[in-house]
């Protein structure tokens, strides 16, 4: 019986990772103040927000707000991860745009440490 139980408990470990879902357009007045400050001197910015989740359990872990500057080919992003009693908010970070908005979002989410 011990041998059978030992084999039942030998499952591969599933690595945790972040993923995003449901990119939405966002108005500038909905953006984090630090994100607005980082793009204040740029024109033609459009804003987006996505929910961040922890796989494999689909646990909501935060949000990513993006300010996209298509003319410069750059995007500024801020990650917010709620915790009690206060939220953790990253500094505004600039990255080169991907080929699509989805690619740009992937660039940002790939750089979020799981222990943020």
Q: What is the pTM of this model?
A: 0.79
Under 8 Å CB-to-CB from 21, ≥6 apart: which residues? 50, 51, 53
Please say if the pLDDT value at position 27 is more than 60. yes
60-112 residue pLDDT tens? 888 999 999 999 999 999 999 887 567 788 899 999 999 999 999 999 988 87
Give a three-class secondary structure readout of the chain: CHHHHHHHCCCCCCCCEEEEEEEEEECHHHCCHHHHHHCCCCCCCEEEEEEEEEECCCEEEEEEEEEEECCCCEEEEEEEECCCCCCEECCCEEEECCCCHHHHHHHHHHCCCCCC
pLDDT score, position 116: 45
Which of residues 5 and 33 earns the better pLDDT score?
33
Rg (CA), the chain: 18
pLDDT score, position 33: 96
pLDDT score, position 89: 85
Segment among 9-23, 25-39, 90-104 with least mean pLDDT: 9-23
């Amino acid at each position: 019986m011990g041998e059978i139980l030992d084999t039942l408990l030998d499952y591969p470990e599933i690595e945790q990772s972040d993923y995003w879902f449901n990119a939405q357009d966002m108005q500038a007045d909905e953006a984090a103040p630090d994100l607005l400050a980082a793009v204040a001197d740029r024109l033609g910015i459009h804003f987006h927000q996505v929910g961040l989740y922890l796989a494999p359990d689909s646990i909501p872990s935060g949000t990513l707000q993006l300010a996209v500057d298509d003319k410069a080919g750059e995007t500024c992003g801020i990650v917010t991860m709620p915790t009690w009693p206060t939220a953790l908010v990253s500094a505004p970070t600039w990255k080169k745009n991907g080929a699509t908005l989805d690619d740009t979002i992937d660039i940002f989410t790939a750089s979020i440490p799981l222990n943020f």
